Chains A and B, each alone.
Chain A
Amino acid sequence: MSKILGIDLGTTNSASAVIEGGEPKVLENNEGARTTPSIVAVNKSGERLTGLLAKRQSVVNPQNTIYSVKRLIGRKWSDPEIQRDKKWLPYEIKESASGGVEIKMADRWYKAEEISAMVLQKLKADAEAKLGGTVEEAVITVPAYFDDSQRQATKNAGEIAGFKVRRILNEPTAAALAYGMNKQKNEKIVVYDFGGGTFDISILEVGDDTVEVKATGGDTHLGGDDFDRIIIEYLIAEYKKQEGIDLAKDTLALQRLKEGAERAKHELSTTNESEINLPYISSSDSGPKHFLMKLTRAKLESLVGDLISHSVDLVKEAVTAPSPKGAGLKLSDVNEVILVGGQTRMPAIQEAVKKLFGKDPHQGINPDEVVAVGAAIQAGILQGDVKDILLLDVTPLTLSIETLGGVATPMIEKNTTVPTSKTQVFSTAGDNQTSVEIHIGQGERPLMADNKTLARFILDGIPPASRGLPQIEVVFDIDANGILTVSAKDKATGKAQSVKIEATTSLNKDEIEKLKKEAAEHATEDQKKRELIEAKNQAESLIYIAEKGLKDAGDKVSAEIKEEIKQKLSYLKETRESDDAEAIKNATNELSATLQKIGEALYNKKDDAPSDN
């Protein structure tokens, strides 16, 4: 079965995504970008271009480059929006026989849905290339304010492009789906969508498995492009003031300035100041001229401040105005706010929205892609990929086994998806140890004593051997129902023991939170304790090696070296009893360095030995 494609068919840019392995994935287009300009053109040689390629020739072919077709789709010619838009659109439009809108592109008249279909066709072809198979079905998003005729026309566009359109989905609903808010009952959600050329507000109410649009608002002619224009205009005016040169007239200079300004705008989302440095941007009688200007975040915010406060006013109106103009709610009634559209990366916008509602807006998902992601999730639900039954549990806390010194050694880390299993081989801590205790615990603290004990059992009958020699294989296995089985096996004898612990994933929520909180509170102190124990363990094993080494070496090593080792050894034994991890480590390192002399001495003896020949 082929995948259903989730499509955000935007005014300026479009994007598509699918569910893969249960997760939404935004697809790159043929040009390697994650969004595709919603532009179609026919060039002078009659060839049709779509997306980025159409955009690249738009300047020299404005009459035959069709963009913003979403402003026209499904509308009547008499619609005031059409009457307003026809004044500034560089291509020709006319009233169709049925009272709709037709668009002229290279001597032929097209319906708006035919143009949109060309964009959809490109998305389809690129998705097929990426996924390696045919894509026949799609979920396409539209603004919440679209009426039946606009929705039908969008659906037609999808069918013309060769899709079976499974659903026409509201853009704000898609955004809410992307954040998994479709399950939250009786919540009121505001979606603040600042796209390239349009600004949309939607107020949603989530009920029993339904998402209802309570009100919409915004400005169809306000967008991120206005921000860019204002910045460029400011920079050009400033430069003119400083140097008396108008950069707007120089194509190359303007190009470099646009790129520089865009870079600065992006930078100012994370820094407070950005330098636009464009050497040799122009020249005058007195020689070359450079462009060097600092743009601060404060300056940028003051330039576009009016646009932001205008957008905030519109939000207030859409939320509080009585129906049908608004949702008739109080600002404090709103439970969640979602930011959509690239322009919402600007910290001043995030701040303004936060101030208005008194809560942090959701913005974890790339705001350019969140609608496509939501469309893919809807597609996944229709396809059966996103079924509740397939939702896999995760272990809420780390499952560990106690090792030398009371350390909790993690076997299965928290948030691991189950079913899962993990095998690790352990050994004994003492010589001739014939049994081991398997102590299983749950929690994030590094010491077992601080975690919750789930079970303990003893594996005995291990043949006596030096420490570290026996191999005890421990397996942690959690099945799909959260049942943990821990087994331990002595590899030499095959003797095994196991224990079953029910429902490790269904700890109650408070308990999980408590354990997590404790872990966070004790993080530093625990780390120190753990370091101390590790240092002691290392010291312990080196003492063992050193004593064994001394015994084995016999008289092959000079008394001098032996004496040195003995001294360091007794010092380490003494230090080991202290609680100073640093001192123990140093003493361990010193002994370790001295011990190497045994090895050297032994090798030298070998070299000195007379040959048998």
Chain B
Amino acid sequence: MDENKNPISENPEERIKELERQNQEYLDGWKRAKADLINYKRDEAQRLESFAKFGNEVLISDLIAVLDSFESGLSAIAENDPARKGVTLIKSQLENLLEKYGLEKIQVKCGDPFDPNLEEAVGEINSSEPPGTIGEEVSGGYKLYNKVIRPVRVKLSKGQN
């Protein structure tokens, strides 16, 4: 195939050069192919590992919406309502289950400095906390095996007016 493209020279020295060049090109291609395969295998192993960890990320993200509903629900049930204990237990049942699959709630408190690695600012609020720090947690954030799959939604303090 190559011979048709580049007619091999009659001159033996040039021919050697030509063949050496070809030789090098093929060797490079072969090395590259080998290296690609080795790298691919390594990546594949990593990919499988990450698939095992994050394969159900979508399902877990959808279940976080259910946790949100529990949070909102609990805040609407009076402290002394007998239903409260039951609902709290169902919520923690779901939380414990998700924890087994690698989900972790991100813990923040008012007055913490804002960290965009873990939090998303959705607004500002008057608060006694120092300006620029977390003034209010709007909704919880979660990590799946250390990857933030939903940041904590917070309002930042703009100090007291």
Chain A residues with CB under 8 Å of chain B are 20-22, 31-32, 43-45, 49, 52-57, 59-61, 251-252, 255-256, 259-260, 263, 277-281, 283, 287-288, 385, 389-390
- B116 adjacent to A255 (CB under 8 Å): no
B122 contacts A by Cβ under 8 Å: yes
- A20 adjacent to B148 (CB under 8 Å): no
Specify the chain A residue showing the minimal Cβ separation from B71: A280
B49 contacts A by Cβ under 8 Å: no
Which 10 A-B pairs rank lowest in CB-CB distance, beginning with the nearest? A280-B72, A288-B76, A21-B36, A56-B120, A53-B116, A60-B121, A56-B116, A279-B69, A280-B73, A32-B147
The contact sample of 28 A-B pairs, CB cut-off 8 A, is A20-B39, A20-B40, A21-B36, A21-B40, A43-B114, A44-B132, A45-B132, A56-B116, A56-B120, A56-B151, A57-B116, A59-B123, A60-B124, A60-B156, A251-B123, A251-B153, A252-B138, A255-B122, A256-B65, A263-B62, A278-B68, A279-B72, A279-B73, A280-B72, A280-B75, A283-B76, A288-B76, A389-B1
Partner of A59, one of B2, B122, B132: B122
CA distance A61 to B120 in the complex (A): 12
- A280 adjacent to B76 (CB under 8 Å): yes
CA distance A256 to B68 in the complex (A): 8
B11 contacts A by Cβ under 8 Å: no
Q: Say whether chain A's binding surface is mostly helix, strand, loop, or mixed.
A: mixed
* B124: A residues at CB distance < 8 A: 60
B83 contacts A by Cβ under 8 Å: no
- B65 adjacent to A56 (CB under 8 Å): no
Most buried by B among A20, A44, A279, A287: A279
CA distance A56 to B123 in the complex (A): 11
B29 contacts A by Cβ under 8 Å: yes
B19 contacts A by Cβ under 8 Å: no
CA distance A385 to B123 in the complex (A): 49
- A255 adjacent to B73 (CB under 8 Å): no
CA distance A57 to B76 in the complex (A): 30
- B121 adjacent to A56 (CB under 8 Å): yes
Interface residue count for B (Cβ, 8 Å)? 37
- A49 adjacent to B65 (CB under 8 Å): no
Taking the closest CB of chain B, its distance from the CB of A155, in whole angstroms, is: 28
* A45: B residues at CB distance < 8 A: 132
Taking the closest CB of chain A, its distance from the CB of B21, in whole angstroms, is: 14
* A49: B residues at CB distance < 8 A: 116
Specify the chain A residue showing the minimal Cβ separation from B74: A280
- A255 adjacent to B132 (CB under 8 Å): no
With A21-B37, A56-B119, A60-B156 in contact, is A259–B65 under 8 Å at CB? yes
B92 contacts A by Cβ under 8 Å: no
* A287: B residues at CB distance < 8 A: 76
**Chain B 38-78 interface residues, beta-carbon cutoff 8 Å to A:** 39-40, 43, 54, 62, 65, 68-69, 72-73, 75-76
* B119: A residues at CB distance < 8 A: 56
Specify the chain A residue showing the minimal Cβ separation from B147: A32
Most buried by A among B36, B37, B75, B147: B36
- B155 adjacent to A53 (CB under 8 Å): no
Partner of B121, one of A20, A52, A59: A59
* B120: A residues at CB distance < 8 A: 55-57
CA distance A527 to B116 in the complex (A): 59
* A56: B residues at CB distance < 8 A: 116, 119-121, 151
* B116: A residues at CB distance < 8 A: 43, 49, 52-54, 56-57
With A60-B123, A263-B62 in contact, is A281–B147 under 8 Å at CB? no
